Amino acid sequence: MSERIRIAIVDDHPALRIGLGAILNAQPDLRVIGEAGDVAEALAACERHQPDVVLMDLRLPGGGGAQATLAIRERWPAMRVLIVTTYDGDEDIHRALQAGASGYVLKDLTSTELVAAVRAVHRGEQVLPPAVAARQRERVRRKDLSPRELEVLQHLVNGLSNKEIARALSIGDESVKTHLSGIFLKLGVTDRTQAAIEAIRQGIVHLNHP
C-alpha cells in the first residue's frame, strides 16, 4: 500500500472532529495526524505535523477559516485545504476559494463523499459539489459591493437605523441613503428587509459581526 494521506482536522467542535476522524481513519489510505479548534492551533498543527490535506471549518475562534486557509497556503503551498462547513453563502464560498482552498463541501455530505473529496484534493483537483458551484456562478454574476457599502450593509443587518448607521460611520444621513440605493441595486432588492435577508443568505455579512 502506498503511503497514507496525512490529514489535519480544524473545527471548534470536538465531537465533530472525533466523528470526522473515525470516518477518515477507517480508510486504508487515510490517516488523521492532527487536530485544532481555532486558527492559532491550526497553524501550529500544520507546522508540527505537516499534513497533506487540512479539513477546515469556516467559523473558528481567533479568525475565520478563509483567513487560516490563506495563512496555510502562503506558508506551505503544497498543503491542500478542503473547507467542510455548514455555510453555503456565495461570499463564504468566494472568500474560501480566493484564499486558496482546493474544495468546499457542506457538512451534510456522506462519509463516502467526504473520503472521495479528500482523495480528490490530494490529487490536486478542485472539489465543488454542484450546489456549491451553482452558488459560486451566481456570485460571479453579481456586482461587488464597495467597502463602504459592506459597512453600511453590516450595520443594517445588525438592526441599526439610517441615523444610527450615519453616526457609527461618521457620515451624513443622505450618504447612508445613497449607499443603500447602491446596495439594493446590486443585490436586486427593493427594501432594507430584503437586503438583510439576501446579505445573510449569500454570506456577504453575518449577524452580529463586530
Helix/strand/coil for 161:
coil
Residue 210 binned pLDDT confidence (cut-offs 50, 70, 90):
very low
Average pLDDT on 189-194 reads 92
Cβ atoms within 10 Å of 133's Cβ, excluding its own: 14
Cβ atoms within 10 Å of 73's Cβ, excluding its own: 18
- Going by the DSSP 8-state scheme, the letter that residue 87 receives in this structure is -
Whole-number pLDDT of residue 103: 96
Per-residue cell: 29? 489510505
113-125 pLDDT per residue, tens: 999 999 999 999 9
Whole-number pLDDT of residue 143: 67
pLDDT, mean over the chain: 90
- What phi and psi values does residue 106 have, to the nearest 5 degrees? -100, 155
Whole-number pLDDT of residue 132: 86
β-strand pairing of 59-60 with 80-85: unpaired
Query: Residue 118 in contact with residue 7, Cβ under 8 Å?
Result: yes
Q: How far apart are CA 93 and CA 85, in angstroms?
A: 10
Residue 101 binned pLDDT confidence (cut-offs 50, 70, 90):
very high
List the domains of the chain with CATH numbers. Answer: 5-140 (3.40.50.2300), 147-201 (1.10.10.10)
Residue 1 binned pLDDT confidence (cut-offs 50, 70, 90):
very low
Q: How far apart are CA 23 and CA 133, in angstroms?
A: 25
Query: Residue 138 in contact with residue 90, Cβ under 8 Å?
Result: yes
Average pLDDT on 104-120 reads 96
Helix/strand/coil for 93:
helix
Whole-number pLDDT of residue 153: 93
Q: How far apart are CA 85 and CA 58, in angstroms?
A: 6
141-190 pLDDT per residue, tens: 566 788 899 899 999 999 999 999 999 999 999 999 999 999 998 888 99
Name the one residue in this structure whose C-alpha cell is 453579481: 142
DSSP letters for 26-52: TSTTEEEEEEESSHHHHHHHHHHH--S
Residue 140 binned pLDDT confidence (cut-offs 50, 70, 90):
low
Closest CA to 62 of 41, 93, 87: 41
Report field, pTM of the whole predicted structure over 0.85? no
